[in-house]
A and B are shown apart, each in its own frame.
Chain A
Amino acid sequence: QVQLKESGPGLVKPSETLSLTCTVSGFSLTSYHVSWVRQPPGKGLEWMGVIWGDGSTAYNSALKSRLSISRDTSKSQVFLKMSSLKTEDTATYYCARAPRDWGQGVMVTVSS
């Protein structure tokens, strides 16, 4: 069955770069897109970006200057990198084969 699982550091310092990995199973990254969505504590969902089956990407314009999404199809992994982190980037980060299949999310705290 389709599974997605996020992994990465739970704590990152301000101004540093966040690197998250989404490891998928049950489908091919060349056939399906994977999105990243985040949710600050107690707040709503924010769409961050997507990597399409052909490898092209699209980003939230508010994050575009700091965000990069890539993949390694041989490892069935999708990567998120976001630079110049701020405390307001503290959130649970989800990867999803939207709209149906979501990872469990990984909580990332940005703090010194």
Chain B
Amino acid sequence: DIQMTQSPTSLAASVGESVTITCLASEDIYGSLVWYQQKPGKSPQLLIYGATILEDGIPSRFSGSGSDTQYSLKINSLQPEDFASYYCQNGLSTPLTFGSGTKLEIK
């Protein structure tokens, strides 16, 4: 099974700042990486798929990068609505494992 190691577990930042969340796969997933945002009491929302492709309707301050085993989600100029939890997911092969999540909190 492919393991997804996500860091950091939590992150405190201020409105207007930029943050980066990373995800390390235990083997090459060939860019098959998905990022989700989840707010309390809500279902996960797709942000990025294919490691770099922004889902329709997602603000351009979100961006994804990476290849092979290392991937990142960057959020520029944080807005109040961005404070939430973020998860990466292996999209290459079953089991489609999630990272452990990153909780982004307001500083």
The interface of chain A, by Cβ under 8 A from chain B, is 35, 37, 44-47, 50, 58-61, 94, 96, 98-100, 102-105
Q: Which of B1-30 contact A (CB under 8 A)?
A: 1
Q: B95 near A47 (CB under 8 angstroms)? A: yes
B67 contacts the other chain (CB 8 A) = no
Task: Give, as a whole number of angstroms, the nearest-CB distance from A43 to chain B.
Answer: 8
Q: B89 near A99 (CB under 8 angstroms)? A: yes
Q: A47 near B87 (CB under 8 angstroms)? A: no
The CA-CA distance from A44 to B36 in the complex, in Å, is 12
Give the chain A neighbours of B91 by CB distance below 8 A.
Answer: 99
Give the chain A neighbours of B100 by CB distance below 8 A.
Answer: 44
Q: A45 near B43 (CB under 8 angstroms)? A: no
What is the 8 Å Cβ interface bit string for chain B, positions 29-52, against chain A (1 contact, 0 not)?
Answer: 000001010100001111001000
Range, interface on chain B: 20 to 34
The CA-CA distance from A100 to B34 in the complex, in Å, is 10
Residue of B nearest to A94 (CB): B43
B55 contacts the other chain (CB 8 A) = yes
Q: B87 near A45 (CB under 8 angstroms)? A: yes
Q: Which residue from A44, A58, A99, A105 sits with its C-beta under 8 Å from B94?
A: A58
B84 contacts the other chain (CB 8 A) = no
Q: A58 near B95 (CB under 8 angstroms)? A: yes
Task: Give, as a whole number of angstroms, the nearest-CB distance from B90 to chain A.
Answer: 9
The interface of chain B, by Cβ under 8 A from chain A, is 1, 34, 36, 38, 43-46, 49, 55, 87, 89, 91, 94-101
Q: B44 near A102 (CB under 8 angstroms)? A: yes
Residue of A nearest to B100 (CB): A44
The CA-CA distance from A23 to B89 in the complex, in Å, is 24
The CA-CA distance from A67 to B2 in the complex, in Å, is 20
Q: B96 near A50 (CB under 8 angstroms)? A: yes
Q: Which residue from B34, B43, B96, B98 sits with its C-beta under 8 Å from A44?
A: B98
Task: Give, as a whole number of angstroms, the nearest-CB distance from B25 to chain A.
Answer: 14
Residue of A nearest to B55 (CB): A100
Q: A104 near B55 (CB under 8 angstroms)? A: no
